[in-house]
C-alpha cells in the first residue's frame, strides 16, 4: 500500500516542527523557566536539547526513514514479527493515543477562549471574573466534550487527507502563520511593553537566579515532551521522508524552531506579566486566567488576546494531527486504508476523551485515588511513557539496528562529518539512556529531588545549596 511521502524536505521540517511546537512550548516552558529562576535554567534546557533531545529525535527519524514504516512496522521490518521489541512500538502507539485524549481537552478550552475573545467578552472583565469564567468552563460537561470533539474532528479531517494533501498542505500554511503571529506578538511586546520587555530579557538571560539540582529533571522531561520524542511521532513523520533529504540538518532545524518558539513565548508572556508587576502563575491559571486579564489591559488588548489564543490553537492542532497520525499509521501499516484507520482511531480516541473532558466536573474530579482521569492520563504519558519510549528507542537504534543500516541512513542525503556520527552514536548509546534512567528512578521515587539538589547544586552554581552541603 502506498503510505505517502512528503513533497519536499521543507514540508517534512514544517510538519515535524508542527508536531514539536505545541501547548508545551507556549504554556509550559514559560512557567517552568520562571519557577526555576530564568537564565541558568534556559542554558540547562539548551544543553538537554543538544545532548539528549536532538540525538533521540534523530534516532527516531533514522529508524522511521530507513524502514519506511511506523513504530511497530519498523521493528518488525528489522527484527521480525515475533520480536519483543514490537512492545516498544506498541508503547508509542498507546502513548500517542492516550495523549490525544487529554491534549484535546486543553485545546478545547483554547477554542472557547478564541470564541470569547472574538465576541469581546474579555473587555473590562476583573481578575476574579477570569477565575470564575475558567472554573465554570472547566466544570461544564458540554463545553469540554464539545471543545475536545471539535478539536479531534479537525485533526481527523486533516489526517484523512493523507500525508501530502492533509498533513503537508495544512502545516505548510499553518506553521508560517503560527511563527508570524509569534513574531508580531513579540514585536508588540517590545514596543508596547518596553519596560516589561527589558525585564523579560534580563530575567531570561541573567545568571543571577538560583537553580536547584532537580531542575535538571524538569528540563529533561520537558525536552522530551517539547520535541515530541519518545512515542514514535518523529519516527512516523520520518517514515514519509524520501531517501534524498538530509535528516541530520532537518532534525537540527526542528529542534531549533521548537526552542526558538519556546523562548519567544517566554518573551511575550514575561514582558506583559513582569511589566505589570504580576507573578507568573503556574499551570492552567497562567494561560486561562492571569494572561488574558493582563493582555486585555493593553491597548488593542482584545486583538492581542485573540492572536494569542489563535496561536495556541494552531500550535495544538499541528501537534494533534501527529498524535492521531501515529496510531493511524500503525493500522495503515497493517494493511487498512487510511480512511478506515483514521476513523477507527478517531472513534476510540473520542470515547476515551470523554472521561478526560469530564474531569473538571465534581463527579469525575477524583476517580483514581484523588486524581482525575485527565491527570492520570497526563502523568502516565509525561512521567513514564515518554521517557521509557525514549530509552527503548535509544537502545534499539544504538545497539539492535544493524550498524550498516544505521550508518547508511545517517549519511544518506547528508554531508555530515564522520565525527558527528560518532558523537551522536555515543550520545544515543550511552549518555541519553543513562540520563533517562535517572529521570525514571526519580519518578519512581528511588532518587528524591533533595538528593538531586545536593549532588548537583555546586555544579549548577546554586549558592544557597552550596552552603548547605559545605556547612
Residue 322 Cβ, how far from ligand TRP at the closest point, in Å?
Answer: 4
Q: Which residue in 11, 14, 16, 24 binds ligand TRP (CB under 6 A)?
A: 24
Q: Which is nearer to ligand TRP, 68 or 226 (CB)?
A: 226
325: cell is: 497520525
Per the CB < 8 A criterion, the answer to whether 298 and 272 are in contact is yes
Contact call for residue 61 and ligand TRP (CB under 6 A)? no
Q: Does 226 bind ligand TRP (CB under 6 A)?
A: yes
Extract the C-alpha cell encoding 69.
514504516
List 371's β-bridge partners, or say none: 368
Q: Is 265 a residue that touches ligand TRP (CB under 6 A)?
A: no
Check residue 221 for interaction with ligand TRP (CB under 6 A). Answer: no
User: Quick check: 436 binds ligand TRP (CB under 6 A)?
Assistant: no
Cell of 207: 545568571
- Decide whether 155 or 457 has the Cβ nearer to ligand TRP: 155
Place of cell 513574531: 183
Number of residues in contact with ligand TRP, rule: CB under 6 A?
15
d(CA 470, CA 448): 20
Distance CA 331, CA 50 (A): 33
Q: Which window, 35-43, 133-141, 222-230, 277-285, contacts ligand TRP (CB under 6 A)? A: 222-230
319 contacts ligand TRP (rule: CB under 6 A): yes
Choice between 268 and 296, CB closer to ligand TRP: 268
Q: Which C-beta is closer to ligand TRP: that of 235 or that of 425?
A: 235
CB nearer to ligand TRP: pick between 95 and 435: 95
Comparing C-alpha atoms, which of 421, 428, 436 is closest to residue 397? 428
Q: Helix %, strand %, coil % for the chain, to 5?
A: 80, 0, 20
19 binds ligand TRP (CB under 6 A): yes
462 binds ligand TRP (CB under 6 A): no
For the record, the C-alpha cell of 361 comes out as 466536573
Residue 440 grid coordinates: 525514571
Q: Which residue in 106, 35, 102, 124 sits closest to 305, CA to CA? A: 124
Helix axes 141-160, 301-333, angle to 10 degrees: 60
Instruction: Indicate the residue among 228 and 465 with the shorter CB distance to ligand TRP.
Output: 228
Positions touching ligand TRP (CB under 6 A) are 19-20, 22-25, 96, 225-226, 228, 231, 233, 319, 322-323
Amino acid at each position: 500500500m502506498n503510505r505517502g511521502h512528503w513533497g519536499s524536505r521543507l514540508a517534512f521540517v514544517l510538519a515535524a516542527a508542527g508536531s514539536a511546537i505545541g501547548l508545551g512550548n507556549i504554556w509550559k516552558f514559560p512557567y517552568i523557566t520562571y519557577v526555576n529562576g530564568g537564565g541558568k535554567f534556559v542554558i540547562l534546557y539548551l544543553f538537554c536539547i543538544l545532548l539528549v533531545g536532538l540525538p533521540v529525535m534523530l534516532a527516531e527519524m533514522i529508524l522511521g526513514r530507513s524502514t519506511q514504516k511506523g513504530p511497530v512496522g519498523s521493528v518488525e521490518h528489522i527484527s521480525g514479527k515475533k520480536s519483543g521489541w514490537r512492545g516498544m512500538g506498541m508503547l508509542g502507539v498507546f502513548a500517542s493515543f492516550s495523549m490525544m485524549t487529554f491534549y484535546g481537552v486543553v485545546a478545547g478550552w483554547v477554542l472557547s477562549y478564541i470564541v470569547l475573545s472574538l465576541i469581546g467578552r474579555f473587555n473590562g472583565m476583573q481578575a476574579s471574573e477570569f477565575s470564575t469564567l475558567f472554573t465554570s468552563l472547566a466544570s461544564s460537561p458540554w463545553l469540554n466534550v464539545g471543545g475536545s470533539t471539535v478539536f479531534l474532528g479537525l485533526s481527523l479531517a486533516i489526517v484523512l487527507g493523507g500525508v501530502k494533501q492533509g498533513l503537508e498542505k495544512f502545516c505548510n500554511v499553518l506553521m508560517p502563520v503560527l511563527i508570524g503571529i509569534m513574531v508580531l506578538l513579540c514585536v508588540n511586546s517590545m514596543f508596547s511593553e518596553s519596560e516589561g520587555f527589558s525585564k523579560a530579557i534580563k530575567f531570561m538571560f541573567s545568571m543571577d537566579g538560583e537553580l536547584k539540582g532537580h531542575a535538571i529533571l524538569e528540563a529533561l522531561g520537558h525536552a522530551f515532551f517539547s520535541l515530541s520524542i519518545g512515542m514514535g511521532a518523529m519516527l512516523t513523520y520520518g517514515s514519509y521522508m524520501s531517501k534524498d533529504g538530509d535528516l541530520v540538518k532537518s532534525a537540527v532545524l526542528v529542534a531549533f524552531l521548537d526552542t526558538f518558539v519556546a523562548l519567544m513565548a517566554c518573551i511575550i508572556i514575561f514582558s506583559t506579566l513582569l511589566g505589570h508587576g504580576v507573578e507568573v502563575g503556574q499551570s492552567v491559571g497562567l494561560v486561562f486566567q492571569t494572561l488574558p486579564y493582563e493582555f486585555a489591559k493593553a491597548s488593542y488588548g482584545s486583538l492581542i488576546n485573540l492572536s494569542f489564543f489563535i496561536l495556541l490553537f494552531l500550535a495544538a492542532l499541528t501537534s494533534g494531527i501527529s498524535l492521531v497520525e501515529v496510531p493511524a499509521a500503525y493500522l495503515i501499516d497493517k494493511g487498512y486504508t487510511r480512511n478506515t484507520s483514521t476513523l477507527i482511531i478517531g472513534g476510540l480516541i473520542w470515547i476515551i476523551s470523554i472521561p478526560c473532558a469530564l474531569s473538571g466536573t465534581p463527579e469525575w474530579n477524583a476517580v483514581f485515588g484523588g486524581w482525575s482521569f485527565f491527570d492520570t492520563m497526563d502523568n502516565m504519558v509525561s512521567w513514564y511513557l515518554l521517557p521509557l519510549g525514549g530509552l527503548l528507542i535509544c537502545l534499539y537504534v544504538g545497539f539492535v539496528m544493524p550498524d550498516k543500516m544505521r550508518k547508511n541512513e545517517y549519511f544518506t542525503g547528508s554531508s555530515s562529518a564522520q565525527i558527528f556520527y560518532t558523537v551522536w552514536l555515543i550520545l544515543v548509546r550511552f549518555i541519553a539512556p543513562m540520563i533517562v534512567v535517572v529521570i525514571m528512578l526519580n519518578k519512581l521515587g528511588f532518587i528524591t529531588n533533595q538528593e538531586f539538589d545536593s549532588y548537583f547544586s555546586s555544579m549548577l552554581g546554586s549558592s544557597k545549596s552550596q552552603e548547605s552541603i559545605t556547612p
